[in-house]
Amino acid sequence: MKILVPIKRVVDYNVKVRVKSDQSGVELAGVKMSINPFDEIAVEEAVRLREAGTATEVVAVSCGISASQETLRNALAMGADRAILVETDAELQPLAVAKLLQAVAEREQPQMVICGKQAIDDDANQTGQMLAALMGWPQATFASKVVIDGAVVRVTREIDGGLETIELKMPALVTADLRLNEPRYATLPNIMKAKKKPLEVLAAAELGVDITPRLRHVRHAEPAARKGGVKVADVAELVNKLRNEAKVI
């Protein structure tokens, strides 16, 4: 069974994001970029399935600029077998990514796609769902447990009331939630080995997909700065402030 894992290059989660002065977007110059954390969890899950003998091959795929090759090498160092970059300098919105991934999935014929539940830069939480719809596949989003049983995949999801377990017939799409697993660190020997693993580069333009953006960014703005707090002298002052100054926003 082949598993395809779409991964996105995003601003590292430790970076304090700054909005460009013209409000056209987020400053990316000189900023540390990394694999989207939920995609790291997706890669880990796919690699574990291969290590358990359930999957035979894990293919990482990313859509974006040439520098995304670094992100793919990261997935290879974690244990993915090979990687595909769908290269373009164009702005990619979730529908465009889903269409590009559909073209790759039609070529690769995986039995399962494991996406991250959302990209931490745009927080869209759309790509996996759109890809499943385009493929006509069943989908299980926000997976916290994945069990393969013959031709079906049983997925546990955290929902408001507790846990929900659903069964999908493969081929199927799963999106990874935070508690699915704890991704491994890539060891130095595996980082070295990853440099030799196959990484294919496809031009997005060759896939015959319309990637025109459907949404227009109007403005990006930083959240309003918070006012500093004050120290109260005693409980009586605190109660007084809560009664007379605290407001429900």
Q: CA–CA distance from 21 to each of 28, 84, 93, 134, 218 (Å)?
A: 12, 35, 23, 38, 14
Q: How far is the CB of 6 from ligand AMP (least distance, A)?
A: 3
Give the one residue of 43, 59, 63, 105 binding ligand AMP; rule: CB under 6 A: 63
Cβ-based neighbour number of residue 59 at 10 Å: 23
Select 100 or 186, whichever has its Cβ closest to ligand AMP: 100
Q: Is 96 in the site for ligand AMP (CB under 6 A)?
A: no
Please answer whether residues 43 and 183 qualify as being in contact, where contact means their C-beta atoms are separated by less than 8 angstroms: yes
Please answer whether residues 57 and 49 qualify as being in contact, where contact means their C-beta atoms are separated by less than 8 angstroms: no
What residue has token string 């999106």? 175
Select 143 or 188, whichever has its Cβ closest to ligand AMP: 143
Which stretch in 48-56, 60-68, 140-148, 196-204 sits in contact with ligand AMP by CB under 6 A? 60-68
Q: How far is the CB of 178 from ligand AMP (least distance, A)?
A: 12
Give the one residue of 12, 108, 122, 158 binding ligand AMP; rule: CB under 6 A: 122
d(CA 9, CA 62): 8
DSSP state of 222: P
User: Token pair of 241, please?
Assistant: 């402030």
Q: Is 90 in the site for ligand AMP (CB under 6 A)?
A: no
Q: In the range 21-50, which residues lie near ligand AMP by CB under 6 A?
A: 36, 38-39
Give the one residue of 8, 48, 99, 197 binding ligand AMP; rule: CB under 6 A: 8
Compute how many residues bind ligand AMP; rule: CB under 6 A: 22
Q: Which of 13, 39, 57 is nearest to 97 (CA)?
A: 39
Q: CA–CA distance from 9 to each of 34, 38, 58, 100, 125 (Å)?
A: 6, 11, 18, 16, 15
Which stretch in 125-133, 164-172, 214-222, 236-244 sits in contact with ligand AMP by CB under 6 A? 125-133
Maximum CA extent, the chain: 71
Residue nearest to ligand AMP (CB): 116
Return residues touching ligand AMP (CB under 6 A). 6-8, 36, 38-39, 62-64, 92, 94, 97, 115-116, 118-119, 122, 124-128
